[in-house]
Structure 1
Amino acid sequence: MPLQFPQSSENLTPAERRLLEFIESHREEFLFMTIGQLSAALGVSEATISRFARHLGCQDFKQLKNLVLAQNHLEGPAGKLARTVLAEGEFDPRRYLMQQQACLQKTMEALDPAAFEEALEALLSARRIFIQAKSASAAMGQLLFFRLRRLGLPVELLPGSGTELLEGLVQAGEQDLVIFFGFSKVSAEGRMILRRAETVRYRTLCFTGRLHPPAGERADLNLYVYRGAEKEYHSMTAAAALVDTLVVAASQRLGADGAARLQELHRMKQQFGR
């Protein structure tokens, strides 16, 4: 469907007509381009691009982008990233880091101390700890696995999906803890973990982006992470911080035992030159 603009595109110059044709046929690419990159790609001046935006009834290049974004209805990661990048014009890393501070603040405000304490107790008392994570959450699963293993806890990293996940999950039983990540929704693998727990009775812990998950998607223990508004790019800043918070709390609770394991690891590294 052709893009609609506040003013008619009938009286555009040849250079402006070329700009319009590029935007129509490369909408997603255009949304991520600066005015300088568009100028270089089409061999037109930035002044021409600015005049082109005004001729279409837009105040400036930023408004032109927002108009294209609004009509393109981008979904999924590309749409979320575009909305985040275009939220305040040109991308400013300092402003984006301030947004991450807001994510941390909202995560902290929503943290239930009793729920966190219960999750910590489940982690430290489990016979074995299984971690399942895939896609963007895979990095969080790897981080948690690495940190807990360093403390000497009996932790295993499950495959993200497929038959191999089932082969790992079948080993989990009573007195074990299975941790998974389900921020905007619980994945098919997460639902599988929850359903299996009804029979086997291992405990489940979910890092979730929902304060009130529906009954069928609630784990035994749920730790809330705020990652941004629904249609924004969702970072893992607050998720990584909460993972590390749980690990540091576990380290403190283990006390001398946890420190002794870390010291022994350091000694072995020195011994073997690692």
Structure 2
Amino acid sequence: MSFDFLPADNEFTRADAQIMEFISAHPNEFLLMNMSQLARQLGVSDATVSRFARHSGFADFKELKRAVMQQQNNQSSPALKMAQTLMKDEGGFGLAGWLSYQQSCLQKTLEHLDEDIFETSVKEILSARHIYIHAKSASASVGQLLMFRLRRLGLPVSMLPSGGSEIWEGLALAGEGDLIIMFSFSKVSREGVMILNQSRESGYKTLAFTSRLYVPAGQRADMNLFVYRGEENEYHSMAAPAAVVDALAVAAARELGPDSVKRLDRLHELKKKY
């Protein structure tokens, strides 16, 4: 990266040049460091790093990081997203601030909740001949959670392979009366496009978790559940998707009524027996 944001007439010391060289060669690592960590990495004092930031025309080290981040913003790398999230809390990362951020994700999800779509999703889950779940990368964890919750209720559910040619083996079995649940938060994956396109021919229904309030017509599932995970350049939270997954399971148990209790009791008895 370049240092176009630094004053051209500044005279930098040997230590300053060392700091600039490190930032230029390792911008993502730099953005994840605090001042003391950078100082230890380079074998200089905290005061030296602080002076470099002021010498460069910034109020403090944090303002320097913001300038570096601004130059990196067009890359949207995982490290950059993490750094952006760490810098949200002026006092530094802490559990209280992080949990407050999770609350804001849940609140924004609640603000855009469509109760009718949610209830329709529950009904489709309960009436499906078989439920297939497609989840890859970060969504794999909530996909597994959803399968676990629905299977405990005695519902017929299985995971589709996350990618590759194996996904066709699962899709070949899906047809009229089945439901495929997919996670396509900020965009629809290549496999997601395949699932949506094939639904028109095979006749199964689709339910998608999405982080977009507007989904283009060609990328919409039959049902789209909105979950807020943070801004595009932030570390993406899974709090809202996990909460909505649990809500689907609880709502399904509500609809099953006494049957859900019988199914859970049977599972409990089997565990005790074996």
Q: What's the offset of the Cα at 1:17?
A: 2.0
Provide runs of 4+ in structure 1 moved above 4 Å: none
Q: What's the offset of the Cα at 1:87?
A: 2.7
**CA deviation vs aligned residue, 1:39-73 (integer Å, no higher than 9, x gap):** 11111111111111101101111001111111123
**C-alpha contact 1:53 1:60 (8 A) present in aligned 2:** yes
Using the alignment, how far apart are the partners of 1:101 and 1:28 within structure 2?
28
Which residue of structure 2 aligns with residue 147 of structure 1? 149
Using the alignment, how far apart are the partners of 1:57 and 1:271 within structure 2?
71
**C-alpha contact 2:29 2:79 (8 A) present in aligned 1:** no
**CA deviation vs aligned residue, 1:193-222 (integer Å, no higher than 9, x gap):** 111110111111111111221110111111
Q: Report the 3-state secondary structure (helix = DSSP H, G, I; strand = E; otherwise coil) of the residue aligned with 1:12.
A: coil
**C-alpha contact 2:134 2:181 (8 A) present in aligned 1:** yes
Which residue of structure 2 aligns with residue 129 of structure 1? 131
Which consecutive residues of structure 2, in runs of 5 or more, have no partner in the other structure? none
**C-alpha contact 1:8 1:56 (8 A) present in aligned 2:** no
Using the alignment, how far apart are the partners of 2:44 and 2:22 within structure 1?
12
Q: Report the 3-state secondary structure (helix = DSSP H, G, I; strand = E; otherwise coil) of the residue aligned with 1:20.
A: helix
**C-alpha contact 2:121 2:207 (8 A) present in aligned 1:** yes
Q: What's the offset of the Cα at 1:79?
A: 2.3
Report % sequence identity.
53
Using the alignment, how far apart are the partners of 2:21 and 2:164 within structure 1?
44
Which residue of structure 2 aligns with residue 77 of structure 1? 78
**C-alpha contact 1:6 1:58 (8 A) present in aligned 2:** no
Which residue of structure 2 aligns with residue 204 of structure 1? 206
Question: Could you tell me which amino acid in structure 2 is paired with residue 237 of structure 1?
Answer: A
Using the alignment, how far apart are the partners of 1:267 and 1:32 within structure 2?
50
Using the alignment, how far apart are the partners of 2:22 and 2:197 within structure 1?
50
Which residue of structure 1 aligns with residue 235 of structure 2? 233
**CA deviation vs aligned residue, 1:82-114 (integer Å, no higher than 9, x gap):** 211123342233222211111101111211111
Q: What's the offset of the Cα at 1:224?
A: 0.8
Using the alignment, how far apart are the partners of 1:20 and 1:59 within structure 2?
17
Which residue of structure 1 aligns with residue 195 of structure 2? 193
**C-alpha contact 1:186 1:217 (8 A) present in aligned 2:** yes
Using the alignment, how far apart are the partners of 1:62 and 1:190 within structure 2?
40
Which residue of structure 2 aligns with residue 49 of structure 1? 49
Using the alignment, how far apart are the partners of 2:247 and 2:58 within structure 1?
47
Q: Report the 3-state secondary structure (helix = DSSP H, G, I; strand = E; otherwise coil) of the residue aligned with 1:140.
A: helix
Question: Could you tell me which amino acid in structure 1 is paired with residue 193 of structure 2?
Answer: R
Matches within 5 A, 1:216-231: 216-231=218-233
Alignment root-mean-square deviation, CA: 1.4
Which residue of structure 1 aligns with residue 89 of structure 2? 88
Which residue of structure 1 aligns with residue 19 of structure 2? 19
Which consecutive residues of structure 1, in runs of 5 or more, have no partner in the other structure? none
Which residue of structure 2 aligns with residue 254 of structure 1? 256
**C-alpha contact 1:5 1:57 (8 A) present in aligned 2:** no
**CA deviation vs aligned residue, 1:6-28 (integer Å, no higher than 9, x gap):** 43474222222211221121111
Which residue of structure 2 aligns with residue 163 of structure 1? 165
Q: Report the 3-state secondary structure (helix = DSSP H, G, I; strand = E; otherwise coil) of the residue aligned with 1:162.
A: coil
Q: Report the 3-state secondary structure (helix = DSSP H, G, I; strand = E; otherwise coil) of the residue aligned with 1:206.
A: strand
Using the alignment, how far apart are the partners of 1:178 and 1:117 within structure 2?
16
**C-alpha contact 1:179 1:206 (8 A) present in aligned 2:** yes
**TM-score, length-scaled by structure 1:** 0.95
**C-alpha contact 2:89 2:97 (8 A) present in aligned 1:** no
Using the alignment, how far apart are the partners of 1:29 and 1:15 within structure 2?
18
Using the alignment, how far apart are the partners of 1:14 and 1:6 within structure 2?
16
Using the alignment, how far apart are the partners of 1:80 and 1:15 within structure 2?
28
